[in-house]
Structure 1
């Protein structure tokens, strides 16, 4: 990833930094957010580089099976590998209160709205229901400016069913899409959950930002295991190197042949999700 993309990711993360002192859990959360945004920035960069100059839309007949990666290369993680199945949904004619009960029962902030054939026609969220509840509590708008500014939201909030309250058209992803592309879509659209549809627009699952985050960013224990495996491939005595990983930063200590160090450190830096490598080794 370029320095510009790193700076953009860190700037976006700082925007969400609270004005009060961080709790013990906040710093790791902010670090994970920076790493997530960096992965999204990388996906966006790759996406723009691969798009044709004509800017054509995504094919409606996107294949459900992705091509196999070349031998020796890791398989690309795809939406179907991390999505929730079955996905909660509501039909367009479901009354307002029943939609609210569904969100509470499923403990989600939004659900897809489907027709009789399971095609996703929209998404109804807590925000849509809050607008409805506000109109029910105070049905009169105040002032011409307020009426113009909130015209669409106000009119929609008079609906009594999922279909009249929902936001449309829906933003969806395909099961065969790479997780990185789905993360880009979620970030770009500022959505917490994305319906997953087949090439005919039928609901097959749902994927959340949390699941995308977990898929894109491995925890420190997994990174350490891969680093130790790599060390074992380079050294006859892997125990000569002590590996520590914190928030994606790898620290390597021990006594090594000076000639082996540059290649080993370069290999560790190439591992996915490694943020930086600190060399504390000593020449043997």
Structure 2
């Protein structure tokens, strides 16, 4: 990534940092977030330089879904597609489902949003906890006056008077195709600020759902994979590959042992270029 992309990732991470003291689990979560944002930024960089073809844009019509269309498959087994990580079957609700039943569905499925489908299973929108919260607020106080009624979320306030999934939902829906690259789906989710994306076939019918967590797991390499690649670099640069030990935790590579510092510097530079490496700690000692 470029320096600008690194700064963008760090800025987004700081925005996500909680104002309260971190729990022991919070730092690994923030590290994972940095790696996710880094992968998205790298995907965006490849798209802008032509190394990956960008997905075809939708028609722009408000009648149909906004879908990340599949691009031509890149060579090599490392390319993951949405179909490899999506979850099936996907929970959905019909457009005529009442507000209260939609709320029960979200609670039962333990999700924050759910696709709304028509009689032929075409995705026509997405209804979320935010939509239901606005509806609940209107039910509690139907007549809002003053600045609240003039907020820029005027459309949200107006549609919250609806009583069914179709009248409460957000549309057009942002969806992805099963053959879309995971990196493209991650970019779509990040750009739209969505936690879950419905997966639809070429006719717009619901076939699955992919979450930001699913994309995160697919984009971020396992620490064991990073360690194996780092150890191979140690063997390439150092006469004695056993002189330096490599450990990896949450994307941070630590190197310990005794070796020629000049050679170690070359290894460190190479390890920093490994995908998904957040930091490299040099704990080696000179001969």
Q: TM-score range with shorter-chain normalisation?
A: 0.7 to 0.9
> Could you say if the C-alpha distance between residues 74 and 252 of structure 1 is closer, same or farther in structure 2, counting changes exceeding 3 Å?
farther
Contact persistence 2:88–2:209 (CA under 8 A):
yes
RMSD across aligned C-alpha pairs, in angstroms? 2.9
d(CA) in 2 for partners of 1:156 and 1:147? Answer: 13
Normalised to the residue count of structure 1, the TM-score between the two structures is 0.85
**Offset, 1:152:** 2.0
- TM-score, normalised via structure 2 length: 0.84
Aligned pair 1:193/2:206, yes or no?
Answer: no
Does residue 1:218 correspond to 2:202, yes or no? no
Residue in structure 2 matching 1:117, options 117, 120, 127: 120
Is 1:247 matched up with 2:250? yes
2:148 pairs with 1:164: no
Q: Deviations over 1:189-210 (max 9, x none)?
A: 1111111112221111111111
Q: Matches of 1:61 and 1:210 in 2, distance apart?
A: 18
Q: CA deviation at 1:122?
A: 0.2
The separation in 1 between residues aligned to 2:126 and 2:4, in whole angstroms, is 34
Corresponding position of 2:27: 27
Gaps in structure 2 of 5+ consecutive residues: 60-66
What is the CA–CA distance in structure 1 between the aligned matches of 2:267 and 2:16, rounded to whole Å? 36
8 Å CA contact 2:189–2:212 kept in 1: the answer is yes
Say whether the 8 Å CA contact 1:61–1:199 is kept in structure 2.
no
Where 1:172 maps in the other structure, the secondary structure is: strand
- The superposition leaves residues 77-127 of structure 1 with CA deviations (integer Å, 9 ceiling, x where unpaired) of 221111111111111111111111111111100000111111111000011
Report if aligned partners of 1:175, 1:198 keep a CA contact under 8 Å in 2.
Answer: yes
Q: In 2 relative to 1, CA 24–68 (structure 1 residues): closer, same or farther, beyond 3 Å?
A: closer
| TM superposition shift of 1:25 | 1.9
User: Aligned-pair distance for 1:38?
Assistant: 1.7
Superposed CA offset, 1:39-71 (max 9, x none): 21222222233399xx9735989558x5351xx
Cα deviation for residue 151 of structure 1 reads: 3.5
Distance 1:58 1:154 in 2: 27
- Structure 1 segment 150-161 matched on structure 2, within 5 A: 150-161=153-164
Contact 1:68/1:75 (8 A) holds in 2: no
Residues 1:109 and 1:182: Cα distance change in structure 2 (over 3 Å): same
Q: Go from structure 1 to structure 2 and tell me whether the alpha carbon gap of 1:132 and 1:51 turns closer, same or farther (over 3 Å shift).
A: farther
The Cα offsets for residues 150-203 of structure 1, whole Å up to 9 and x where unpaired, read as: 542232112111111100000111112221221121111111111111222111
May I ask how many residue pairs the two structures share in their alignment?
277
CA deviation map 1:239-264 (0-9, x unaligned): 33311123322122234467864654
Q: Distance in 1 between matches of 2:184 and 2:70?
A: 16
